Amino acid sequence: MLRRMSPTTMSGAHHRRASSLQLFRQSAKSVRTRRKVVNILQLTPLRISYREDELVRIASPMTSVQLVDGVQVYNAGDPADFWGIICKGAMTKLSVDKDGNTAIVAELGPGDMFGSEMLLGPDAVRAFTVEAKTPVRYLELTREKLREMQEDNSLAVNLDALLETMKLGTSIDVLKEMEMFRGVSRRNMETFMNMLHFRGLSEGEYIIKEGGFGNSLYIVQRGELEARSGNMVLNSFRKGQCFGEVAMMMQIPRTSDVISTKPCILFELLSPEFDKFMRVDRRVYDFIATNTKERIAQQFRKYTTAFFDALSEDTLAYIARVCTLEVFQADDVIFKTGDPSDRFFMIADGEVSIKTDAKVTTLGKGRYFGEVGLIARSDARRTGTATATTRSLFVTIDAVNFDKIFVGSNCLAPNALFDLKMALPRIAVPVRPATPQRSKSLSPRDSKPVIRRTETLSPRANKATTSPNALKPIKWPSIE
């Protein structure tokens, strides 16, 4: 239930607001207060457009407001007469239906902006209810103060970037330009927008560190970034592209560093809103799921082994289209001796133990297994038992697509097959071609009958290929 302020509580809130404004003005000249204000504004996209002294001037007309937990900052339908930035504490953004039922849309913290409806015009009203989840302090800029800033020639600050930053929370036109939102209804885009947080990066800043555990997915609104592992550039990201979804969806450590190569504005989706975000529109889920597979397939490029070196960009793209992503927990049995040899495994994250009569082998990231029975057709059963020793993520390729990629005269990656067979001494090893072939690209005519896009991140329903431990598909509620 929402806590509505009684007249007494409302009066008290206004008293705290007035006194906090007075204290803010009294201490505005102090270095400490100015530093705190600048630090808060630098958590927003304003940091890429303004110097520190300009941020201080922008903050000077703002009011510092303090509220206790449970107090509503504003209600849906209230006049949209101010915009704010959270300095301390947390707020909850709530949707309220016609029967008064509420649902959490997003949780806001320090550096988050709210109240962008103010820029929609003098008659604009609030679309959501915002409530203080904890004791909270925020900077408030009213419509009247913004108008005074625009008319004040002595301010000596160009306000265009401020206005553009304030509009980020309402401008679904930004989403319309992005490939991942094509075909999404206006209503659903508005829901997406209100789940997002906004961040700014200067050139050369890291937003993701390889090996770390992140809780954010990012969409590029402006600027450019690169994904790097060591000295290798794995990918680049520009306006409308997303990154960070691999660790978010698969719950694995970050697979690369991501660094800005130009000043950037990013839309950030935090993990508490992630599942809700993915359920708003199936088209967005499909886009992100496809991106996830492409990104994971590209990660194998950083492993400089003969096998992965033999896979061209086109071959990796084909693998991304036809593969399935499977997750196994520690101690899960992936397959046992005697099971059908039905798919090939590439380890994207985690560790696997392979036990045969002769020995036990441990394989980690960038290794592969399960190819024996797929290459030696007379050996159609597993010759060992594979067990995940840690939580593990695999890119798997079924037998049909394994043949199209690695086996036969017209396969996509004949040199990769050579390297697979080199690891299997009991299988006759072919002579490597005198002139090394580049892995064959997939032409449109070749691709048409063989592409099988995986619509979910779960294995196919075929009994022979479905693992009870694989990632389960998400059930989608009706939105409209």
Assign 202 a pLDDT band (cuts: 50, 70, 90). Answer: very high
pLDDT of res. 176: 83
Residue 261 CB partners (closer than 8 Å, separation 6+): 203, 204, 223, 224, 225, 226, 236
**Are the CB atoms for 322 and 397 separated by under 8 Å?**
yes
Checking if the pLDDT of 455 tops 60, the result is no
**Are the CB atoms for 430 and 333 separated by under 8 Å?**
no
Can you list the domains of the chain with their CATH numbers? Answer: 24-170 (2.60.120.10), 176-299 (2.60.120.10), 306-423 (2.60.120.10)
Average pLDDT (413-418) is: 85
Assign 21 a pLDDT band (cuts: 50, 70, 90). Answer: very low
Average pLDDT (142-155) is: 92
Amino acid code (one letter) for 438 = R
Q: Which among 350, 354, 379 is positioned nearest to 365, based on CA atoms?
A: 350
pLDDT of res. 187: 85
Assign 279 a pLDDT band (cuts: 50, 70, 90). Answer: confident
Checking if the pLDDT of 63 tops 50, the result is yes
Tell me the whole-structure pTM to 2 decimals: 0.71
Checking if the pLDDT of 147 tops 80, the result is yes
User: Among residues of the chain, what percentage have pLDDT more than 70?
Assistant: 81
Average pLDDT (253-266) is: 93
Q: Backbone dihedral region of 102: left (phi > 0), alpha (psi from -120 to 50 degrees) or beta?
A: beta
Q: Which long-range contacts (CB under 8 A, 24 or more apart) does 4-8 make?
A: 4/72, 5/71, 5/72
Checking if the pLDDT of 362 tops 90, the result is yes
pLDDT of res. 153: 86
Average pLDDT (395-403) is: 93
Least trusted range by pLDDT, from 125-134, 327-336, 359-368, 415-424: 415-424
Residue 294 CB partners (closer than 8 Å, separation 6+): 317, 320
Rounded to whole angstroms, how far apart are CA atoms 244 and 422? 36
DSSP, residue by residue, 431-442: PPPSSPPPPPP-
Burial 441-476 (b: 16+ CB within 10 A, else e): ebeeeebeeeeeebeebbbeeeeebebebbbeebee
- Highest mean predicted confidence (pLDDT) among 171-185, 230-244, 415-429: 230-244
Average pLDDT (376-384) is: 76
Average pLDDT (208-228) is: 91
Q: Backbone dihedral region of 180: left (phi > 0), alpha (psi from -120 to 50 degrees) or beta?
A: alpha
Checking if the pLDDT of 433 tops 70, the result is no
Assign 480 a pLDDT band (cuts: 50, 70, 90). Answer: very low
Q: What is the pLDDT of residues 83-99, one digit of tens each?
A: 999 999 999 999 888 88
